[in-house]
Amino acid sequence: MTTGLLAAVTGLGMGLSLIVAIGAQNAFVLRQGLRMEHVTVVVAVCAVSDAVLILLGVAGNSWLSARLPDAITAIRLGGAAFLLGYAALAARRALRPSSFAVDAGGGTRNGLLATVLTCVALTWLNPHVYLDTVLLLGSVADSHDGGRWWFATGAVVGSLLWFSALGYGARLLRPLFARPAAWRVLDAAIAVVMAGLGLGLLLSAF
């Protein structure tokens, strides 16, 4: 295996290890996939955003946390506020099943613009994205010297594969989510996850 290919495989594995976890962004992609609502756009926004952040990290932006600590704090506070707000909305859906429909069409559809804005916010207001994708991946890529762009390519491919699998694979679970109770459980889980992430970010900012 050549040095470049090895770096690409390493980037693929590390990229997947950072994003294949329950989080606000993944929870949103899963829900959109289950509803079969703007899936391609959501997958594209997540994958392109990750690619941009990975490339920024590899290009040498890991100095942010050292030179602008106040920026990291502001990002954490903004992200915490957004995640807690989204958690409240998910909890409301779980407690009031009448607030959404669960028919074969996936319920009342959200507009494309609202979906994109939510997806962008969940991605770019999440400080873990900067800490993991930009800082961590960027620093590891530097250790590959001439192969760092191969590493970045692997990480970008890993991100695209994961979001595509999550968004398009979710429809296989649609028979289960034809029942209102399943949607209530999903939204309750999303609310818990996002509230936990939001509180964690809020505490880490002080």
Q: How far is CA 189 from the centre of its chain?
A: 16
How far does CA 33 lie from the centroid of its chain?
14
What are the pLDDT digits (tens) for 155-192?
899 889 989 988 999 888 778 766 778 778 878 887 88
How far apart (Å, rounded) are the C-alpha atoms in residues 70 and 45? 27
Q: What is the pLDDT of residues 17-62, one digit of tens each?
A: 566 555 778 888 988 998 889 999 999 999 999 999 888 877 765 4
Element (H, E) at 6: helix 3-19
